[in-house]
Amino acid sequence: MMQQDEMIRLENVTVRYRLPQEQVRTFKEYAIRRLKGKIQNIEFLALNNVSLSVRKGEVFGLIGPNGAGKTTLLRLVARVMYPSQGRVIVRGKVAPLLAMGAGFHSELTGRENIFLNGAILGFSRREMEAKFDRIVEFAELRDFIDAPLRTYSSGMVARLGFAVATDSAPDVLIVDEVLSVGDIAFQEKGLTRIRQFREQGTTIFLVSHSMSTIQKMCDRVAWLNHGEIIKTGSAKEVVAQFETAMDSKNS
């Protein structure tokens, strides 16, 4: 079971995608191939026997090249995916920033979208009413809140999504390259908010390709490659090793 101050725990987690060699999209095709014994799946291990543990208040980073399994790991923690093998335990309210703006509809107004997005994030109507003014304030969209979302710029949409997702401090915050939201000023505001969460004891799970962000923010880092953890340790140590490995590969 979980230890006292553990927030996220993965025990020997494997995620196995089955990729059909050729896409079989119709019944007829499926039936024919099935009869001929021609359904062959390539197994693809997105994560292979991964174990890790994140304690309360930690900022935990994931690094690794594209396709290493970082996003799959985030999805497991966000409960979007279910492990093929192994066990995932997460304590507390999770705010996945990968769900920023999920369900936004361009024909609805900013106001309507706030309530819809809030419900998707698992908040009740009453909770959203209490949050509403703060969200609008933070997103700096007071004048546009009753205009349909299709009239917003992409930066405005991103600001609204971020504001809804981060209005109240979650127990676990999942961040996937989110810091590229809106303009520089808003990015700074977003970072400040994430830092505040951290001070309040929120556990942060962060994926980034920017080593400077990782080093600035993270306490501990796991380096993922081909679905396996190469190394877990302090941010400085792991990033240094990762960069050396990447350099030697590139040269």
Partner 1 sequence: MAISPSNEKFQTLPVYDSAQRGFAPLIELREIWRYRDLVTQLVQRDIAVRYKRSFLGVAWTMLNPLGMMVILSVVFSQIFHTIERYPAYVLTGLIAWTFFSQSTSAAINAMVWGGDFFRRIYVPRSIFAIAAIGTGLVNLLFALVPLVLVILVTGVPLRWTILFIPIPMLLLVCFALAVGMLLSTLGIYFPDIVEMYQIILLAWFYFTPILYPVDILPAEIQKWVKLNPMYPIIEMFRQPIYEGKLPTIETFLLSSGVCLFSLLIAFWIFVQKSNDFAYRT
Q: What φ, ψ does residue 228 adopt, rounded to 5°?
A: -125, 150
Identify the residue among 21, 122, 168, 243 touching partner 1 (CB under 8 A): 122
For residues 183-222, which are near partner 1 according to CB under 8 A? 201
By CB under 8 A, the residues from 4 to 23 that bind partner 1 are 4-5, 17-18
Task: Give the nearer residue to partner 1 in terms of CB position, either 2 or 246.
Answer: 2
Taking the complex as a whole, the smallest distance from the CB of residue 88 to partner 1 amounts, in Å, to 4
- Residue 125 binding partner 1, by CB under 8 A: yes
DSSP assignment letter at 132: H
Please say whether the beta carbons of 152 and 188 come within 8 A: no
Minimum CB separation from partner 1 for residue 126, in Å?
A: 8
User: How many residues sit close enough to partner 1 to count as binding (CB under 8 A)?
Assistant: 48
Which residue number, 206 or 238, has a Cβ lying nearer to partner 1?
A: 206
> Radius of gyration over alpha carbons of the chain, in Å?
21
| Torsion sign, CA atoms 25, 31, 32, 37 | positive
Cα–Cα distances in Å, from 34 out to 37, 66, 103, 158, 246? 5, 34, 37, 46, 44
Least distance from partner 1 to the Cβ atom of residue 203, Å: 11
Residue 120 binding partner 1, by CB under 8 A: yes
Q: Given the complex with partner 1, which of 102 and 211 has the nearer CB atom?
A: 102
94 vs 167: CA distance, rounded Å: 13
Rounded Cα distance, 63 and 87, in Å: 22
Does 81 participate in binding partner 1 (rule CB under 8 A)?
Answer: yes
Q: Look at residue 93 and give its three-state secondary structure.
A: coil
Which one of 59-67, 119-127, 133-141, 155-163 is the stretch in contact with partner 1 (CB under 8 A)? Answer: 119-127
- Which residues are registered as beta bridge partners of 223? 63, 231
Binding segment (CB under 8 A) for partner 1, from list 102-110, 130-138, 151-159, 234-242: 102-110
Binding-site member from 119, 191, 230, 240 for partner 1 (CB under 8 A): 119
Verify binding: residue 115, partner 1, rule CB under 8 A.
Answer: yes
CA 67 → CA 178, 190, 225, distances in Å? 18, 27, 8
Coil, helix or strand at residue 45: strand
Enumerate binding residues for partner 1 (CB under 8 A).
2, 4-5, 17-18, 25-27, 30, 56, 75-76, 78-83, 86-94, 96, 98-99, 102-103, 105, 107-108, 112, 115-116, 119-125, 148, 171, 201
